[in-house]
Structure 1
Amino acid sequence: MATPVAPLALLNETELVRRLQARDEQALACVQRAYGKQLLTVVVRLVRDEALAQDILQEGMLKIWQGIASYQPERGRFFTWMVRVCCNHAIDSLRNPRHRFNNRNRPLEASAVCQVEATATFNPEHIGLRELTLELKPRQREVIDLLYFGGCTQAEAAQQLGIPVATVKTRARAALVALTVLARSAHYRR
């Protein structure tokens, strides 16, 4: 006679891990229900994009399912291990060149990172600066967008644009000179 199985909602971590290792798909669904929101919160904090975080979480759940044999209870709690798996996957996703390319091609206004940065570092002197940058040459504008609005270093901007750091510096310097002229002429028009 088979022993009764405890309802999934009543499983402790040890039993949950044992059932995952036995490839019980219901246990994976239980993990998703029990820990999904907490894991999603952690991933959102890393990637700052809800849709991307949900994709990463689903892929993270797959990694948890595939890698459950590597979980070692003596090294920490199951939840902590899952957080580490999902965070590592999120970091890998952010480092992926495809993500950087897609992120670079998004409008700056749509970037949650830039919106958070802008509110955290609001400076009244910046009012109107965005409009002035629209009058720059496209190559100068993309450098200014990355350096001043996107928070990139010169090296990061060079990598994203696929140009040498010296070119980034030259374009930034030329853009700042042009912005100074534009700002002065806008001031005199008032």
Structure 2
Amino acid sequence: MDFLSLSGAVLAGGKGERMASQDKGLLLFRGEAMALSVGLALRQVTSCVFINANRNSERYADLGFEVIADDPFYQGKGPLSGLATCLAFAKTSHLLVSPCDTPCISSDAFSQLISASKMFPNRIHYLSDAFGGHPLHAILPVESALIMLKDFLDKSERYSVMAFYKAFGCKPVLWDKSEELLNVNTPDTLG
């Protein structure tokens, strides 16, 4: 498999349980909807960007991106539901994903993932820093990852993103700007 083309997806399908069930991607961080910040960073490295959201799809569409909801077949399987849906929707050889609640992420971080994927296009690559892995900042080979993820979801009772990545074959990509990986998932981090 070669690295031929790339699309990007903002993962905004969560329930926002730690944010009092608010739709995190639509919450403002420094005056801008968090999903918009992430989408614009993705748009700097690929022209095809969409949002995976399971509610408020019209409000997400108003941000200027196509919006897709989780496939009902995969719902209830955590972030892997969104990954499966995005992989099935993508029309490119590779898919770059990022969660909506990391509004400080930069296109430079995504460029690191793209470089790693071009060297080893058959693997999943995800960002890591001194504090650990950030598996939802990742680039995946679309066709092979979708085939294996469907099988993984059918057979697994544990819907762990890292368990799937390890089964598939993955490699962390060190990103030393930890401040860009700030996860805004509680009201006090919206500050």
Could you tell me the TM-score, scaled by structure 2's length? 0.27
User: Does 1 or 2 have the higher relative contact order (CA < 8 Å, sep 6+)?
Assistant: 2
More helix by share: 1
Which entry has the higher C-alpha Rg, 1 or 2?
1
More strand by share: 2
